[in-house]
Amino acid sequence: MKVAKFGGTSLADAEQFRKVKKIIESDTSRRYIVPSAPGKRYPSDEKVTDMLIGCFNVAQKGQNIRALFDKIKSRFFDIAIELEIDTACIDDKLDEIEQNIQNKSSRAYAASRGEYINAILLSEYLSLPFLDAKNIIIFNVNGELDQSKTHEQIQLHLATLDKCVIPGFYGIDQKGNYHVFSRGGSDITAALIARSINADIYENWTDISGFRAADPRIVPDSKYIQQLTYKELRELSYMGATVLHEDSVFPVRASGIPTQILNTNDPLHPGTLIHYLPQQKAHLPLVTGIAGKKGFTAITIEKLRMNSELGFGRKVLQILEKHNLTFDHLPTGIDTMSIIVSTDSLFKCKDKLKEEIESAVNPDSIVFTDKLAMVAVVGSGMSKKIGIAARLFTALAEQGIVIKTIIFAPSELCIIIGIDEDYLETSIRSIYDTFIRE
């Protein structure tokens, strides 16, 4: 039994709908289908969700949205007409949505309507029942997912439906107010469904054939990763490898359900299969993937005999918490503490932060180092081999790249290095050539 989620580019127009139908009908175990709203048909095109939010913004100013909303209607009618779907199934619903947005319904309601209408069209095209996500995805009044009630409602409703189409991205609270996940949140809807019905696999169909071992904009011929673990995925996604919505892995990961990333435009490609544990323990690659991200700042605090001062780290971290700052990494020495944070998050509080740290712990010095990039070298096989770090440092040294910080993950799954962000692309290419390129 499979749950299959199709992204916005997979359902951007009638031709993409045809591809999706062929994929679904090729495997009878694909029983629960979760569509996104129509995405871009070409680079300069506009996503339907963005168009709906645009209508919402105009309505909030008291202006008429008719001209803008007519473009949204045209997108859906074009799909329906080309696929010979009776437009009556969506005509009244689109009029109702337009009226509700014009009358200043919530932003979440407006943003969710692309998934809603697209799911109706897809259910008609596939001749499958339609199940509104508001019946199964339950939020509390604060906009937080109620996992217990969601799990209960999914099981209750799907017990009577052998197959169906369910729109992603949104749900409601007990008062009937709409709430949405962050953008790309149809992934989360599908993962929640997969977990609740204990699916054999969760398929995520998009416009790329899985994860690459490095960003193809940096390494154009980088290999596709056939298999990786959820832990490896977490490390790579955090450092910018964005194929899946990050939150979508948690429901299926906790249940041990594999996720497969597949390409709607190349359905015969095996894509990337994500497991809870490595599947080929005897033949694990040394490095599964490399990812990097710019925009970090290191706050380096020095104080003689810091290690013997009780509560030093706690006091510093409490100041970060006071300013709603999270830290990404925390490399330390006997007399040195370095806190690596997002540069953007420091924009409004850098001077105040420095002042409060000086007052709290009286350090010998505080230095802010901007323009840092962090590079993650990820692989379950690294812990089993000697000399990985030596090869990594040699590869960077040969390119004249200075390593400013080094972090070895306790899981032995990942080595993270901090470098000048001007060398991010060079470092990734060098590491790829050393560990992955044949």
Domain containing 431 equals 289-435
Residue 63's pLDDT is: 96
Please tell me whether residues 169 and 305 are part of one structural domain: no
Q: Are residues 299 and 196 in the same domain?
A: no
Look at residue 344 in the predicted model and tell me its pLDDT.
Answer: 93
31 and 177 inside one domain: yes
Q: For position 283, what pLDDT does the model report?
A: 63
pLDDT of residue 168: 94
Q: Report if residue 223 sits inside a domain.
A: no
Query: What string of pLDDT tens digits covers the 438 residues of the chain?
Result: 999 999 999 999 999 999 999 999 999 999 999 999 999 999 999 999 999 999 999 999 999 999 999 999 999 999 999 999 999 999 999 999 999 999 999 999 999 999 999 999 999 999 999 999 999 999 998 999 999 999 999 999 999 999 999 999 999 999 999 999 987 778 999 999 999 999 999 999 999 898 899 999 999 999 999 998 888 888 887 766 666 766 677 888 888 899 999 999 999 999 999 988 766 555 667 889 999 999 999 999 999 999 999 999 999 999 999 999 999 889 888 999 999 999 999 988 999 999 999 999 999 999 999 999 999 999 887 777 788 889 999 999 999 999 999 988 777 788 999 999 999 999 999 999 999 986
Residue 338 to residues 27, 351, 372, 414, 422: CA-CA distances in angstroms? 52, 17, 13, 19, 21
Whether 89 is covered by a domain: the verdict is yes
Q: What is the pLDDT of residue 124?
A: 98
Q: Which residues of 240-269 are buried (b: 16+ CB within 10 A; e: fewer)?
A: ebebbbeebbbbbbeeebbbbbbbbeebee
Handedness of CA 133, 138, 142, 144 (dihedral sign): negative
Q: Does the residue 325 lie in any domain?
A: yes
3-state secondary structure of 142: coil
CATH code at 362? Answer: 3.30.2130.10
> Is 264 within a domain?
no
Question: Does 415 reside within a domain?
Answer: yes
Query: Does 191 share its domain with 312?
Result: no
Residue in this structure with the two tokens 């099981």, named with its chain if needed: 155
Strand order in the sheet with 414-420: 336-342, 289-302, 365-378, 414-420, 405-408
pLDDT value of position 262: 96
Per-residue pLDDT at 437: 87
Residues 144 and 19 in one domain: yes
Residue 233 lies in a domain: no
Torsion sign, CA atoms 80, 81, 86, 89: positive
pTM value is 0.85
Instruction: Give the pLDDT confidence score for residue 419 in this predicted structure.
Output: 95
State whether 22 and 152 are in the same domain. Answer: yes
Domain match, 293 and 196 both: no
For residues 193 and 115, give the distance between their C-alpha atoms in angstroms, rounded to a whole number: 16
What pLDDT is attached to residue 278? 67
Residues 121 and 19 in one domain: yes
Q: At what angle do helices 107-126 and 88-102 cross, to 10 degrees?
A: 180
Dist CA 177 CA 155 (whole Å): 22
Closest to 137 in 3D by CA, of 126, 125, 152, 124: 152
One domain for residues 33 and 178: yes
Residue 106, domain CATH: 3.40.1160.10
My answer on whether 158 and 302 are in the same domain is: no
Note the pLDDT of residue 281. Answer: 54
Same domain for 196 and 55?
Answer: yes
Residue 250, domain member (yes or no): no
Domain's final residue, options 207, 234, 257: 207
Instruction: Give the pLDDT confidence score for residue 185 in this predicted structure.
Output: 77
Q: Are 328 and 282 in contact (CB under 8 A)?
A: no
The structural domain count of the chain equals: 2
Question: In this structure, is residue 213 part of a structural domain?
Answer: no
Say whether both 168 and 26 belong to one domain: yes
Question: Which of these three, 144, 174, 207, is where a domain ends?
Answer: 207
Domain end, chosen from 161, 191, 207, is at 207
Sorted by sequence, the CB contacts under 8 Å of residue 366 that are 6+ apart come out as 299, 300, 301, 302, 354, 357, 358
